[in-house]
Amino acid sequence: MSGNARWLLYLLRCADGSLYTGVTTDLERRLREHNSGRGSRYTAGRRPVWPIGSWRFADRASAQRAEARLRRLPRARKERLAMAGDPFEGADFAGPAGPRFCLRCGGRLETVLRPGYEHPVQLCPTCGRVHYRNAKPCAGALVVRAGHILLVRRAIEPYRGYWDIPGGFLEEGEQPQAGAVRELWEETGLEVRLGDLFGFYTDRYVYQGEQGVTLNIYFLAEVIGGEERAGDDAAELGWFGPDELPVRIAFDHARMVLTDWATRVRGEAG
Ligand SMILES: [Zn+2]
């Protein structure tokens, strides 16, 4: 397929584990629509969604024909096509691409569906290692003071200039609670005491063109010390009430967290 082929057939994984297919010329725009509830009725009730594969077609009609065929395949077959990065109906795979080679021995990975398992995995036929693709754990805190929540404006990509909930990737072996307290200190200069678990949210994280999945763990928290200062990754800090949350919020899941928080606060007030 030529480089100027503009129509993409895409495959999304929804929050309930089901798959959704569609065609578009602009996948990022469609993702924003799906994740804001305006994409389709099906995905609106199953957010967040994220792309697991796409294929590039020369025109809309051929993308739609391929979509009809993709829809009829069993779920595990669709997943396997995307994970392997295989062409489909004569069209090149357009990403997001996963790893192709074994991290241990450099062998070329195969995508297989093992009997009795629901999801395909990548397997190295040379050394026998199974390469699982999982979410990366992150932890953060909803620090609340006088009914206002603490947000940080990001100074780095992705989402530079957007407001975010303080938090970040856990170090290997670090407990989520310790990670949340550490991230708060690094990003805001504040010492916090964690309260109840607020919730778990998965999301997509695109870094230098590569897509990963994050599992974001949030705790409620209060300030017990320190002095407010924006850390290296943050441009500024701000406190926001439930009715004055910023429009430009980084990451789809953070928008969901803040909506859930605002709904909960209003419920407690009413
Ligand atoms: Zn290997």
* Cβ neighbours around 92 below 10 Å, total: 17
CATH number at residue 111: 2.20.70
Is 141 found in the same domain as 18?
no
Tell me: the pLDDT tens digits for 106-154?
999 999 999 999 889 999 999 999 998 889 999 999 999 999 999 999 9
CA angle 211, 212, 215 (to 5 degrees): 150
Is 215 found in the same domain as 177?
yes
Is 90 found in the same domain as 28?
yes
Residue 264 C-beta-side C-alpha neighbours within 13 Å: 14
For residue 135, give the DSSP letter.
Answer: P
Is 251 found in the same domain as 149?
yes
Residue 48 has a pLDDT of 83
Is 169 found in the same domain as 193?
yes
Is residue 174 flagged as an active site residue? no
Cα of 55 from ligand 1 centre, angstroms: 28
The domain total for the chain is 3
Among the residue ranges 31-40, 178-187, 202-211, the one predicted with the least confidence is 202-211
Cα of 206 from ligand 1 centre, angstroms: 26
Q: Identify which of 245, 76, 243, 235 has the alpha carbon closest to the alpha carbon of residue 150.
A: 245
Residue 208 has a pLDDT of 75
**Domain range spanning residue 177?**
136-269
Q: Of residues 89, 236, 244, 268, which has the active-site annotation?
A: 236
Cα of 128 from ligand 1 centre, angstroms: 6
Q: Residue 3: which pLDDT band, with cuts at 50, 70 and 90?
A: low
Tell me: the pLDDT tens digits for 52-81?
999 999 999 999 999 999 999 999 999 999
Cα of 119 from ligand 1 centre, angstroms: 20
Q: Residue 1: which pLDDT band, with cuts at 50, 70 and 90?
A: very low
AA letter at 27: L
Is 260 found in the same domain as 163?
yes
Instruction: Tell whether the model's pLDDT for residue 4 goes beyond 70.
Output: no
